[in-house]
Homo-oligomer: A and B are copies of this chain.
Amino acid sequence: MRVKLLISYDGADFVGWQRQPKGRSVQGEIERALARLLGGMVSVQGAGRTDAGVHAMAQTASFEAELNMPLERLSYALNNLLPLDVRVLAAGKAEDDFHARFSPSSKEYRYFIAPGVKPSPFDARYVWHCPGRLAYDEMALAAGTLQGEHNFRSFCAKSQVVSSYVRTIYAAEFRLAKSEDAPEPLQFLAMRGELYMLRLLGNGFIYKMVRLIAGALVKLGEGKLSHVEFAQALAYEQPQPPAPAAPPNGLYLWKLAYLEKDV
């Protein structure tokens, strides 16, 4: 039976989604819990490969296994075995040809930025605190230009070789986040009007693409990158990323849409 899982995690203490020789991975924790539950090795595929420190509100994963319990009990049983920073939100039956990684019709990422450096020890895991004043209106203007089909080669890690760097962004916005736009640990910042959000909805994203875009927008907001330079990068007239990648802690894999019935 092919099973889909909807998963949320706090990425701060993980080496990322993907299993690695060393360190805690989300994939590894879920495979270990499934092995304990079902009594055998299970290989789990995720829809998005989040990096170390990157969070997921709703990651989708799928696996093939014979269940020894009703499907309705699977999330409860898994959550009992999983560490508290990974939670299974839902489990469902998938079509036989469903593959979490290749099937999503769109993905949404959100990147959260808080202005200034506030002396709180509680939110550094969840948001990028940017010291200094940023020109938010200029950042919103530049973010809007991301919409449409672009060659994102300037916005991906140089080492990434993929068959095509062209991706379509269906929606791109940078604005003040409302409480309901934000993940739980940042809702108090949103409530106080101290939280900004970059929201990108697209048909696919290349490794580090969102963080390189967020980094470029902040550099633009600081007045150290012009709109022309940003546009050149977006047109791949400037092969280097225009700014270093934003840190992973502000990034959330927010939502995955599937043409078939969602998990």
Q: Can you list, as one digit per residue, whether each of A116-147 has a CB less than 8 Å from chain B (1) or not (0)?
A: 01011111111000000000000000000000
Q: In the complex, are the beta carbons of A185 and B88 less than 8 A apart?
A: no
| A-B contact list, 16 entries, CB within 8 Å | A8-B121, A9-B121, A10-B121, A84-B121, A84-B124, A85-B121, A85-B124, A122-B126, A122-B184, A179-B188, A179-B191, A185-B185, A187-B187, A187-B188, A187-B191, A188-B188
New A-B pairs, 20, CB < 8 Å, besides A10-B122, A123-B185? A8-B119, A8-B120, A8-B121, A8-B122, A9-B121, A10-B121, A75-B119, A84-B121, A84-B124, A85-B124, A86-B121, A87-B120, A87-B121, A88-B119, A89-B119, A120-B184, A122-B183, A122-B185, A179-B188, A179-B191
Nearest residue, chain B, Cβ from A190: B188
Which residues of B are found within 8 Å of A119, using beta-carbon distances? 8, 75, 79, 87-89
Which residues of B are found within 8 Å of A122, using beta-carbon distances? 8, 10, 126, 183-185
Q: Can you list, as one digit per residue, whether each of A75-113 has a CB less than 8 Å from chain B (1) or not (0)?
A: 100010000111111000000000000000000000000
Which residues of B are found within 8 Å of A9, using beta-carbon distances? 121
Q: Can you list, as one digit per residue, whether each of A143-185 has a CB less than 8 Å from chain B (1) or not (0)?
A: 0000000000000000000000000000000000001000111
Which residues of B are found within 8 Å of A125, using beta-carbon distances? 84
Complex CA–CA separation, A160 to B147 (angstroms): 64
Which residues of B are found within 8 Å of A183, using beta-carbon distances? 122
Q: In the complex, are the beta carbons of B184 and A123 less than 8 A apart?
A: yes
Which residues of B are found within 8 Å of A86, using beta-carbon distances? 121
Which residues of B are found within 8 Å of A75, using beta-carbon distances? 119
Q: Which 8 A-B pairs have the closest CB atoms?
A: A84-B124, A187-B188, A87-B119, A10-B121, A87-B121, A85-B121, A122-B184, A9-B121
